[in-house]
Amino acid sequence: MKIYDKLIKKEEKLAVVGLGYVGLPIALEFAKKLNVIGFDINPERIEMMKNNIDPSNELIESDFDGCSIDFTSDLQDLNAAKFFIIAVPTPIDKNKKPNIKPLISASTTVGKVLKKGDYVVFESTVYPGCTEDDCVPVLEELSGLKFKTDFKVGYSPERINPGDKVHTLSSIIKVSSGCDSLSAEEIAKTYELVVQAGVHRASSIKVAEAAKIIENTQRDVNIALINELSVIFNKMDINTYEVLEAAGTKWNFLNFNPGLVGGHCIGVDPYYLTHKAKELGYHAQIINSGRAVNDSMGAYVGRTVAKKIISSGTSMKDAKVLVMGATFKEDVSDIRNSKVVDVINELKSFSCHVDVIDPHADSKELMEEYEFSLVENLSSIYNAVIVAVNHYEYAILKEKYFTSILADNGILVDLKGIYRGEIQNLNYWTL
């Protein structure tokens, strides 16, 4: 009997290793159809999930209803699984090089419990070749088993968009692959249990890996172009959004907006591709240039705001700035690789006072990660207010609110252009 049939008959269990932003939603969806083991190395997170609490604040209590899942941090519990999904983060280090240590660690964990006939599917974003060249040898060494002969491996990249209630796991076409034709079909059929939109069967693991990495690389490069244009247009005193609105009237114009590009995907994934290209002796000029532009935008915003404060007649040492939003995108609690931090650090380099607020971010987490915390109460009148993240709570604000917290010569900085056309009396600037 094939693995798919054993899973749906609940004769075998599926395990998800890594229960973060990606892993937990996948585990719960499968747990509505199969017997599932949810594994995470953090016991505190496991206890929260046992009580129907998502540590990432993406899911609500009812999302756990009707799920046949056992949450655990005990390695021995994984012995009961036959089909493993590894969904751990793949960040970059301080030198912007791929850090696959979490992936290797998860592979080590699975390798210790791997048995003949088992399946291992990787969901983490990696460079093409990583699954077979870096992860499979770990599985073989720890298990003593032979790849393809004793166990099967596949790759199916995550496409979950944090904070997006429309494009969810079940509504996004899933790309899947296997190490041979049999495993490719078994893996695809398994994912079809939870992905209503369907599954695209990639011809190989490397094709699936490459498909994922270019999704975010393409967006990164396109946003970089618009960011560079916004810098140029700012020097010309031209509103970038008005330019984009005019250009967008052509049927084949691609719609991208300027902004800070952070997070664990778009701001990270291109470095995995450029790293692999460099190993192969090729310098990825366009991708690297796009990354350089996007990585510079936070400092650019900070410098621009500082110049505007100084030109208004206020010394930066006496200036107070309020930054609204610290997460990497709207309506999420995720602060990983938030480029708002670059804005804050640049402003602080001018010796001004910076307050930060965010209804979704955790102050303690910000202090541990970036060495600043949120303020509970606004201190006084500000020389500049920067709306860095378009959280719902900020998007509904009106000019009257900003007038009440800004000095007479203060400036409202709207990085997302959400108040464009609504601000009549304040000094207003956007990218």
Q: Which residues are catalytic?
A: 265
Distance CA 198, CA 189 (A): 10
Which of 359, 355, 266, 352 has the alpha carbon at shortest distance from 317? 352
Say which DSSP state 63 is in.
Answer: G
Distance CA 247, CA 380 (A): 41
Contact of 175 with 208, CB cutoff 8 Å: yes
Q: What is the enclosing helix (H) or strand (E) of 178?
A: strand 174-178
Which of 174, 156, 220, 160 has the alpha carbon at shortest distance from 21? 160
Please name the residues in contact with 251: beta carbons below 8 A apart, sequence gap of 6 or more. Answer: none
Distance CA 420, CA 416 (A): 9
Query: DSSP labels for 198-212?
Result: -EEE-SSHHHHHHHH
Provide the sign of the torsion angle of the four alpha carbons 229, 230, 231, 235, taken in this order. Answer: positive
Which of 307, 296, 327 has the alpha carbon at shortest distance from 383? 307
- Rounded to the nearest 5 degrees, what angle is found at the Cα of 161, between the Cα atoms of 156 and 163? 150
| Tokens at 113, concatenated | 């419990």
Distance CA 399, CA 426 (A): 8
